[in-house]
Every structure is written in structure tokens, then in C-alpha cells.
Chains A and B, each alone.
Chain A
Amino acid sequence: MVSSIFRAALLMLLSLTPLAGHTQANIEIDTPAIASIKRSMQQRHSQLEPYYSGGAIGFTRDGLIVMRDANAVPLAARQSVNGLIAAENQDRNALYREIARANSHPEWEADIRSTFGQRWIELARGGWWYQGADGGWVKK
């Protein structure tokens, strides 16, 4: 269920209108590398989802995730959640880089990241946390 929601969200995200300022950027571009990163992120999502809902992990404006409140994670799990966050961010960074590269414009990475940053927040479910424009945390 969670995975299918995520898939739908990812699909919506990847079929968004072209990037502002780069009318030719295609962020729904699909290469084996992008498909593999998406698969890896989908598989991890079910592990991350309870921490999004519980407020432990929040979405940053630059398209990554961060430990927002470690108190919401059982003590013994905090280290492994750190590992999940690091792996997810590695995938997200690779996704932005790969989409830019697949568009033959590696220099668009920053714009693609920023677009994804906004869209992840828009697609976040109610109760999840994200970083507002001033850097403070906002509960959706």
C-alpha cells in the first residue's frame, strides 16, 4: 500500500511540467540507472515511512531528508535510521545527477534538485514534516 502510494507519488513527480528556465529539460526521462535508483528508493520507502509520519525525519528544501527529531526513534534504532537517511540521500543525489546527465546537461543538477525539493514537499502526506522557506520545520 505504502509502496504503491510512493510509486504514484514518484510517477507524478517525474511527469511534472518541464523545469522553469529549462524548457527542454525532461525530468521524466527514464534510463536504466534512473530506474534502478527509483527501485532502490521505493524499496527503502517502507522503512522510512514510519519515521516521516512520526516526525523523526523531515524533508529539506534541497531535496534531501534529515533526522529532524531523533527522540521519535527508539534509541537502539537511531544509528540504523542514520544509515537509512544517508543511503536515501545518496540515492537522491544520484537521481538528480543522473536526470541532469540523461538530459545531456549535467549543469542542470542544481535546478533539478531544487524542483524535486519543492515537489517532495508538495507530495508529502499530512503529518509529515518539511523545512519551510525560513529553514524552520513545518508539519504538513
Chain B
Amino acid sequence: MKFLIRILAAFFPAVVSVQAASLTLSAEDIRGPLSNIKGIQITLAGAPPSSSLRMKLAEVGIQGKTWHNLHFSCDRFRTRREEINCDSGALRLSESAPLPVSFRLSVPGRTSDVKILDVRIRNSAGKTGEGWKLSLRTGRAGWEGTLTAANGEIAQVVQLLPVSENAILPSSTKGKINGVAKLRADLDGAAVIDAHLAVEDVAFSDVSGLHAGENISVTVDARARRMPRQIPGQKTHLWEWQADAHWPQGEVFWQPLYFAAHGDRFSARGEVDGSTLRLRTGRLSLAEIGEIDLSGRMDWRANTLHDFDLDAPDLQMAGLYSQIVKPFLINTSFSALKTAGQAGVKWRFRNGVNEMLDVDLRDVSLEDEGGRFVLRDINTRIPLRAAELTHAAITIGGGHVSRLPVGPVHIPLEITGLNEPDFRIPRMEAPLLDGKLTLENFSAIRQAQGSLPGWRWQFSGDLSPISMEQLTRALGIQPMRGTLSGKIPKVTFDGSAIEVQGALLLNVFDGTVLVWNLKALEPFGSAPSLMADVDMRNLDLDLLTGAFSFGNMEGRIDVAVHDLELFDWKPVKFDARLMSSPGDYSRRISQRAVQSISSLGGVGAAAAIQRSFLRVFDEFGYSQIGWSCTLRNGVCGMGGIESEPMPHGYLIVKGGGIPAITVIGYNRRVDWRELVSRLQRITDANARPVLQQDKQ
């Protein structure tokens, strides 16, 4: 607008002196220190004092911004000695809709030192008194401009802004502004800016829609003052500024964050010194999260952040997680949590690099909405420093993972670095039921690049004896006796699969279980599957059959399950062989167990025993047991004792001692699900015999 004053003021003497019917002024190029105007054409038609004015500017450049094809026309352009005015002008930029503009330039008194320009842009609805009003007053000592908005339509102003790619622009014509902004300048330039503006119902968006807001109301009070800088011999200055903003209404999506207004506030003060914007103190008050103190320094021309400090000692974990943290955890185990507790964050960024980050959690609880885990009473203080080793202690009061109770746990975490931190736990112990899980040499690092970006981790460990009774009860599965313990060799996660390098050794049913080649594919994805080879040695049949209500058996067995593949914890493929362990031990099988084994082959076999004389014996002797199952495509291909081939069928129990019993299977192919349901029926029937008899 200052530029308009200049043009009009320059034009003024010519206008008043000319008496011709039409006057056209053209210029190719006018260059100034701050502005550059090309293709100027100004036409004044009709005789003063009432004429029509047409002004075309092909290109206007001001401080790096460029406008094209600026048109201004005024049919009632009046000129008098002390005043130029236009009651009903139209301003248009390129193809935009014309804005109803009126202006009045006056030179009160005889001197031309004081000029007053009033420009009004009426609202599109044409309501009296509504719209934009700009008053500029220039004098010897400087100039003063006041912009007053009375339901000023933002869309009207925005269409006059230079358009650039990826710009964030109003996406609706509804937004309005009320308030006053004043700019006062002296001979050295602008000196004071004072603005009190209330924005209502604004919507904005970039082209992609990934940075957008709707229905936004904001009030802003801002003040800036030019101050002389205290450098002897130099006449330079800087700006001191302060701003307070209140956000009572609206919603913003700023990929990937989404915020809805809850009366949030921002207050800040600082300086602008050349291209340096300094935030001395800033406070962001987010209604559902807490208060965040900010300060920093940036080069606003280069859009580069130099220094930044963020201090938020008391944040609400629930709001912090749901509004800020959660969107960054999509597709992880922590993407859907209910959280509670308090968190503190302190971040220091100096000379373009992260220097420190302190995170502390106080009485935080994390509860997976899918019920997979709950961790309660998490307390920690993690002081991260760039290129330094940090020792942090995390305590977890309790909770559960899957159905297993957790805690209390103390995690001595070591972290190296800040930008790409490397996490280590040299050793920790976690109580697990009546035993404990010991974790050793845990390390984790987040890999940003590569074919599988994400976390990589590894550890080894040890499981000290856990009562199987407690474990099976906690897991809600068939009760078993004995203990579970073992050595956990090196376990690694490469971003896609968890792999156990070496053998996992467990002690159950008084025997040993070796798990080899254990691998979990996509353990945190939608289709986790598990693969392993399992070798069990010398399992006590008495403990085993007692656990599964199968009917008592005495003896020892070896079980090999190779190429085991589980999906959703259900086997989809394996080669299993079960055989009597070598050695000298009591080998007895109860009638109920014989019936159970027979029943696996169908109802008829069990009934056959009942009909024979064998029913008078409670138990029998045997010399060997053998059974195999190759599971493929839902079908179990069965076999018996390999060293005792039979022409028809296969030998499952080879008799020995008195009375002896031999069990032969005939059906070599059984549907796996049918076999499992038969086993289920047998163990259910044995566990609840009375109930089953009543049913029959």
C-alpha cells in the first residue's frame, strides 16, 4: 500500500494539471530498493474532477514475492486539489474475483508533507461497516498504518497473496478476522507493531491435505518494538517482540499428528535481529497434556534452527501418548495403549545438533487395548547425552505379558548416543511366578535404512526353575507338574524374525527338552508363525500322563518333533516320533491309558478291550512304546514302533511282562483336527468320568 501512495502521490501533480480528456502514463520498469514493478500502465479518462482510472501492473515484486497482472479500476475517480478519492474501485489480481475497493488520498493543509490514505475493502456480502480498512498517514517524522478488520474475510486477502507451490492456503471462504493491527514507522523505518486480532472459523490446507485445519478460531495479541542495539559507533537495531495466542476452537491435522482445540495457549517473547529470530521465553499450554516451556534461536531467512530448549517437567502421559506419541508407533506393539501417569521431557539442541534429552516417567501404566500386556507403576529417569554413555534405571511395579505376571522388575538400562541411540542391558533379573528370568547382554538399536528398517535386538538368558503347576495355571492350559527351567542361548530379532541361535534347554517332566532352530517369523505382525525342532529326552510318563488325564503310564519316553511349524500357536506341519527311552525302569500301562491310546484310533478299539477278559486288569506291562505322526496339510500320517514293522497296521505298544498288552494301530491317515478333538474328548472324559457317564 505504501507503494500505492507513492504512485498516486507521484501521479497527483500531473492529474491536477492536465486538462485533456484522457491521459495515459506507461513505464516499462520502476526499480526501488525493496520493490520492482514492471509493465506499468495508468490511464485516466474523462475530465477532472470526476474521471475514471485504470491501472495495470504486469509484475510487482516486493522482497522476493511476485504478483502478476494487478488491475485496479475506478469509475468514480475524483480529484481535487487536496484529495483524490475513489468510491467504488475494483482490485483484481490475475484471474481472481474483483475486490470492491474504495480509497481516499488526502493532503490536508497546504503542505504536501502529510498524506493520508484510507483504503477499504468491503465484504462480499456488502454489509455496511464490515470488511477491511487500511489507514496510512505519512508525515515528516514517518508514517503510521492501521489495519482494522470488522468481520474481514480472509479469502479476500488471500487471493491477493502471491501463489507458490505447496503453500498452505485457506480451504474455505468462511474465515473472518476482527481486530486492529497498527504499524508505526519513523525516519529509520518501521518502529512499532501492535496487533490484536481474532480469527474465526478458518480452514486451511496444503495441496496434499496432509497439513490442514478446520473450523479454527484463534485470538492473537502481538507487539513488536524496534530497539537500538548497544554497539558503539554503529547505528543498528533489533526488534523486541511478544505474542500471546489462545486457541479455543478447531482441529488441525499435521501429518501424522491430529489436534482438536481445548483452549490451548501459547505465549512467547523474544527478539528479531537481522535474520536471527530468538525466542527468549515461550510457554505452550496444552489442555490435555500440560505446560511446555520453550526457547530457541533460528535463522528465519534460511529456515534453519540453531538452538532450542524444551522443558516440560509435568506432562499427562494419557494426552502425551494419544496426541503425540501414538501416531509414530503405528504397526508396533505399542500402537494401541491406554496410558496413565506423568512424564517429564527436557530437550536441548545446540548449534544444529541434539545435545541432551532427559525423559522421566512417574507412575506410568501402559495397558494394551488388545489385552496382550499390562505394565504398571513404571518409574524411570533417562538422561540421554550425545556421544556419552547413559545409565538409566527403569522399574516396573507389576503387570502381565500375555497371561504371565510380570514384576516387580528393575531394568538397568545403558544408552549410548542420542541421535541413533544404542540400548544395552548387561544383566537383569525378572521374577517369573516362583522362579526368575535372567536376561544377559541385551542390546537394541534402531536401524533407519536398509531393507527392513526398524528395531534390531538380541539377548541371552536363563530361566531358573518355575513350577509347571503355576505356569500352566497362569497360562490357563492343562495343569502339569514338574518344573520348567533352562538356558536361553543367543536370541536375535532382525526386524522381521526372532531367531534363537543354539539350543534352548528346558527341564520338564523330569526330562530334558532341547529346542533347536527356533524362529518366530513376523512375531509382531498380522501372521506370526513359529518354527522349531524339538527333542525331548527321558520324560517321566507318570508325570506326563498325570498332567493330561490320559490314564496312568509308568516309564520314560523320548519325543522328537522336527520341522515343527506353528501358526497362531497351532501346529501346521511337523515330523513327530515318540519312543520308549533306553534304560532300565518300570514299564506299566493302566487300562485307562490303553483305552485312551486305542480310542485315538476310533471308538471300536476301546470297546473291544471292554468286551475281552483284559478288562479285569487295572494295569499291564509293556516293553516298548512307539508312535509317529507326519503332519502335512491337516492330515497326520501315523506309524508305530519302527523296529517292529507289521504287514497290516503298526505296533504302538509292544507287550512285556505279566499281564502284557499289545496295541496295534490300523488307521494310517487321520485328520489332525479330528485327532486333536479325540484326544481332547479322552482327556476330558478321564478328567470328568462321572459327568461323561451321565451324558451317555
Stretch at the interface among B13-21, B204-212, B368-376: B204-212
Provided the pairs A72-B209, A73-B209 are in contact, do residues A31 and B572 lie with their beta carbons within 8 angstroms?
yes
B130 interface contact, C-beta 8 A: no
B319 interface contact, C-beta 8 A: no
B34 interface contact, C-beta 8 A: no
Q: Are B327 and A91 in contact (CB under 8 A)?
A: no
Choice from A31, A40, A72, A86 contacting B331 with Cβ under 8 Å: A86
Provided the pairs A75-B214, A75-B253 are in contact, do residues A86 and B330 lie with their beta carbons within 8 angstroms?
yes
Cα–Cα, bound, A33→B527 (Å): 5
Provided the pairs A82-B330, A86-B330, A87-B331 are in contact, do residues A94 and B256 lie with their beta carbons within 8 angstroms?
no
Nearest opposing residue in chain B for A91, CB measure: B526
Provided the pairs A40-B526, A69-B208, A98-B527 are in contact, do residues A32 and B570 lie with their beta carbons within 8 angstroms?
yes
B251 interface contact, C-beta 8 A: yes
A67 interface contact, C-beta 8 A: yes
Q: Are A36 and B253 in contact (CB under 8 A)?
A: no
A71 interface contact, C-beta 8 A: yes
Q: Are A36 and B212 in contact (CB under 8 A)?
A: no
Which size bracket describes the interface of A in this complex?
20 to 34
Q: Are A82 and B256 in contact (CB under 8 A)?
A: yes
Interface string of A25-49 (1 = CB under 8 A from B): 0000001111011001000000000
Nearest opposing residue in chain B for A78, CB measure: B253
Contacts of B455 in A (CB 8 A): none
Q: Are A71 and B526 in contact (CB under 8 A)?
A: no
Residues of B within 8 A of A (CB-CB), count: 31
Contacts of A33 in B (CB 8 A): 521, 527, 529, 567
Which A74-90 residues have C-beta < 8 A from chain B?
75-76, 78-79, 82-83, 86-87, 90
Q: Are B253 and A79 in contact (CB under 8 A)?
A: yes
A70 interface contact, C-beta 8 A: yes
B568 interface contact, C-beta 8 A: yes
Choice from B209, B252, B526 contacting A90 with Cβ under 8 Å: B526
Cα–Cα, bound, A64→B496 (Å): 18
Contacts of B257 in A (CB 8 A): 79
A interface majority secondary structure: helix
Which A1-57 residues have C-beta < 8 A from chain B?
31-34, 36-37, 40
B525 interface contact, C-beta 8 A: yes
B349 interface contact, C-beta 8 A: no
Interface string of B183-226 (1 = CB under 8 A from A): 00000000000000000000001001110111000000000000
Q: Are B572 and A70 in contact (CB under 8 A)?
A: no
Q: Are A70 and B327 in contact (CB under 8 A)?
A: no
Nearest opposing residue in chain A for B257, CB measure: A79
- Nearest-Cβ distance from residue B307 to partner chain A, whole angstroms: 31
Q: Are B525 and A90 in contact (CB under 8 A)?
A: yes
B72 interface contact, C-beta 8 A: no
Interface string of B300-343 (1 = CB under 8 A from A): 00000000000000000000000000010011000100000000
Contacts of A67 in B (CB 8 A): 210
Q: Are A83 and B209 in contact (CB under 8 A)?
A: no
Contacts of B527 in A (CB 8 A): 33-34, 36-37, 40, 91, 94, 98
Contacts of B210 in A (CB 8 A): 67, 70, 78
Contacts of B496 in A (CB 8 A): 97
Q: Are A78 and B526 in contact (CB under 8 A)?
A: no
- Nearest-Cβ distance from residue B525 to partner chain A, whole angstroms: 5
Contacts of B331 in A (CB 8 A): 86-87, 90
Provided the pairs A69-B208, A79-B327, A82-B327 are in contact, do residues A32 and B572 lie with their beta carbons within 8 angstroms?
yes
Contacts of A82 in B (CB 8 A): 255-256, 327, 330
Q: Are B258 and A79 in contact (CB under 8 A)?
A: yes
Cα–Cα, bound, A58→B155 (Å): 31
Contacts of B59 in A (CB 8 A): none
Provided the pairs A79-B253, A79-B327, A86-B331 are in contact, do residues A36 and B208 lie with their beta carbons within 8 angstroms?
no
B273 interface contact, C-beta 8 A: no
Contacts of B252 in A (CB 8 A): 75
- Nearest-Cβ distance from residue B494 to partner chain A, whole angstroms: 13
- Nearest-Cβ distance from residue A100 to partner chain B, whole angstroms: 12
- Nearest-Cβ distance from residue B287 to partner chain A, whole angstroms: 17
21 sample A-B contacts, Cβ–Cβ < 8 Å, listed by A number: A32-B568, A36-B567, A37-B526, A40-B527, A67-B210, A69-B209, A71-B212, A73-B209, A75-B251, A76-B258, A76-B260, A78-B210, A78-B258, A79-B257, A82-B330, A83-B330, A90-B525, A91-B525, A94-B522, A97-B496, A97-B522
In addition to A33-B529, A75-B258, A79-B253, 6 A-B residue pairs with Cβ atoms within 8 Å of each other are A32-B572, A33-B527, A78-B255, A91-B526, A91-B527, A94-B527
Question: Which B residues lie at the A interface, using CB under 8 A?
Answer: 171, 205, 208-210, 212-214, 251-253, 255-258, 260, 327, 330-331, 335, 496, 521-522, 525-527, 529, 567-568, 570, 572
